[in-house]
Amino acid sequence: MRRVGKKKSLTARARKIRLLILDVDGVMTDGRIILDNLGNEWKAFHVRDGHAIKVAQQAGLQVAIVTGRQSEVVNRRAAELGVQRVYQKIWDKAAVLETILREEGMTAEEAAFIGDDIVDLPLLGRVGLSMAVADADPEVRRRVHWVARERGGRGAVREAIAWILKAQGKWPLSVRSEKSGK
């Protein structure tokens, strides 16, 4: 991970997070959209990202998906992961943030968003913790608080969730123990 801000400030931001919003194409996937001659759309999701989403939910984070495209594949993946807030075909992603915050009684500083492209900039500029995948558009990487080492669809979501939950002291003890060799 490449921290854009100061470590202490970023950790303080991460500790406040109660809502994690994810983009799909380029974040949960590698950004490629594969269409076949039968009208099917194919997307590849990383299993470790999915596991981390489940861990985040178990740790008390709310997870939402906000994407500019419409795809049944996204609905299926969200259902598998138990993500109930799925917003598709959304151009104004910041408006969705306002809806969620109002419904949940949260503030913008309690929300994090992981994006990758310039269409994500308005929402990235509104949340308390803005994050990008390693292969995000250069302009996006320059403007966020935190940049993953991993690329979209290749474990960046897992990396971001682990970082947030570690800052909150909620990353699973079994995972921490395995990594430290205990």
DSSP 15-54: HT--EEEE-STTTTS-S--EE-TTS-EE----HHHHHHHH
Instruction: For residues 99 and 77, give the distance between their C-alpha atoms in angstroms, rounded to a whole number.
Output: 23
Q: What is the mean pLDDT of residues 139-148?
A: 96
pLDDT, residue 172, reads: 79
pLDDT level of residue 177 (50, 70, 90 thresholds): very low
Percent of the chain with pLDDT over 70: 90
Report residue 130 as tokens: 């803005």
| Domains by residue range for the chain, with CATH | 2-180 (3.40.50.1000)
Q: At what angle do helices 156-167 and 47-58 cross, to 10 degrees?
A: 20
Q: What is the pLDDT of residues 150-166, one digit of tens each?
A: 999 999 999 999 999 99
- Residue found under tokens 């759309």: 41
What confidence score (pLDDT) does residue 78 get?
Answer: 97
| pLDDT tens-place string over residues 82-128 | 999 999 999 999 999 999 999 999 999 999 999 999 999 999 999 99
Strand (E) or helix (H) holding 163: helix 156-167
Q: What is the mean pLDDT of the chain?
A: 92
- So what's the pLDDT on residue 38? 92
The strand pairing partners of 101, in sequence order, are none
C-beta neighbour count of 51 within 10 angstroms? 14
Query: With 70 as the cut, is the pLDDT of residue 7 above it?
Result: no
Question: In the structure, what pLDDT confidence band is assigned to residue 52 with cuts at 50, 70 and 90?
Answer: very high
